[in-house]
Amino acid sequence: MGEIGCNAAVKQNNIAAIRTVLYQTEFATKKEIAARCGLSLAACTALLAEMIDDGQVQELTFAAPNGGRPARRFALNPEYAHILCLYTDNNATDGAGIALRVCDLLGRTHTDKFCPLSDILPEDLTALVAQTVAADPLIRAVGIGISGVTDHSGRIEICSFRSLIGFNPKAALEAQLGLTVITENDMYFTSYGFYIRSRQTPPFSLSVLYWPSHKCAGAGTVVDGHIIVGSTKYAGELVSLPFPMSGLSVSESIARMLRGEDTASLMGTAAICTIALINPNVIYLTGTATHNICAQDIVDYCKQTIPEQHLPTFRIQADIHEEYMAGIFALARKAMPFPRL
């Protein structure tokens, strides 16, 4: 990369850093933004001027005087672009379909709905996205969560909606709509959502073990902000673990758990594997099957083979909807391209 290209890359990184600061606060002064981004005041002033001209940033009224010259305040323009977040849901309680949410750049919800579908065909998914984008031309990025496995290109390899297997919604929608689209499996987005919504101070690590009462279990892990996906993105497929349960097959073992039998031993075995291989700070046990257990059941089971000082904090939360949507939003926003100012 030549000097001009290097300078342009540095500029874009600095602009991205300013956006990140403004994502995290209602408003800030130039001095505060410059300090948090490690920029000189002059450089920060110049970049903010360009971002204001482009519409990314708004200049607010002066801050209240505190004995000196009042400082100008700056805020992200949340209506500069919108993000479409959706995921396929094979929920046995509420029925199957697609959960959809449109947010502004600060994550505030504009549209939130569930579209019931007994089966989801590729054309159902693309039509829903196209209709939503047509109704809201501010949408610039789309995040799609899949209850299954996707490859590195976004192609669906495994899915609870069998009609979607082999389909690549990322490729199809980017070609059709010219938008940025990311497609990942449910636990990829959900684990990241738990991470960014956690009250813990980074760096830390967490794993989410998802145990729905009607379909295959899954897991996701985030270490210091990085999602662990594995070389072929198969990481987290708990159904492939050889659960030692009286000689039963994996499917028979899970079926017993879904009937309320051997729940602690099955979830505990998955937790032990996670601790031994990853050693996270926190493990979240999620999904409707967790109604049958309490955290102490899992702690007691894990203590049989894991030294107590190495046990993580266990938290049980059956519903994952908000974390799922938060993860889709955050990663789609991160992937959204901005003009090269």
Single-letter amino acid, residue 156: I
* Percent of residues in the chain assigned helix, strand, coil, to nearest 5: 40, 25, 35
Across residues 188-214, what is the average pLDDT?
92
pLDDT in tens, 67-108: 666 788 999 999 999 999 999 998 755 678 999 999 999 999
Q: Name the burial class of residue 259, with classes exposed (0-12), middle (13-18) and buried (19+) by CB atoms within 10 angstroms of its CB.
A: exposed
Contacts of 178 (CB under 8 A, 6+ apart): none
Place of tokens 């505190």: 66
d(C-alpha 63, C-alpha 72), whole Å: 6
**What is the DSSP secondary structure assignment for residue 261, as one 8-state letter?**
S
Alpha carbons within 13 angstroms on the beta-carbon side of residue 338 total: 21
Token pair of 216, please? 């295959």
Please report, for residues 28, 191, 228, 243, 255, the alpha-carbon distance to residue 269 in angstroms, rounded to integers and kept in the order given: 48, 20, 20, 7, 16
For residue 312, pLDDT over 70 is answered with yes
Q: What is the pLDDT of residue 169?
A: 97
Backbone CA torsion sign across 113, 119, 124, 129: positive
Let me know the angle formed at the C-alpha of 75 by 139 and 63, rounded to the nearest 5 degrees. 160
Domain with CATH 3.30.420.40 in the chain: 80-189+323-335, 199-318
Q: What is the pLDDT of residue 246?
A: 52
C-beta neighbour count of 17 within 10 angstroms: 17
Q: Which of the four CATH numbers 3.30.420.40, 3.40.50.720, 3.65.10.10, 3.40.50.20 does domain 80-189+323-335 have? A: 3.30.420.40
Architecture, CATH, for domain 3-76: Orthogonal Bundle (1.10)
Return the higher-pLDDT residue of 237 and 109. Answer: 109
Q: What is the pLDDT of residue 76?
A: 96
The per-residue b/e assignment along 222-238, b for 16 or more CB within 10 angstroms, e otherwise, is bbeeebbbeeebebbbb
Place of tokens 């209850």: 147
In the chain, what is the straight-line distance between the N-terminal and C-terminal CA atoms, in Å?
Answer: 19
Query: What is the secondary structure of 6-51 as a DSSP string?
Result: HHHHHHHHHHHHHHHHHHSSS-EEHHHHHHHHT--HHHHHHHHHHH
pLDDT band per the 50, 70, 90 thresholds, residue 340: confident
Domain 199-318 has CATH 3.20.20.70: no
β-strands 28-29, 73-76 pairing: antiparallel
- Regarding pTM above 0.85, the answer is yes
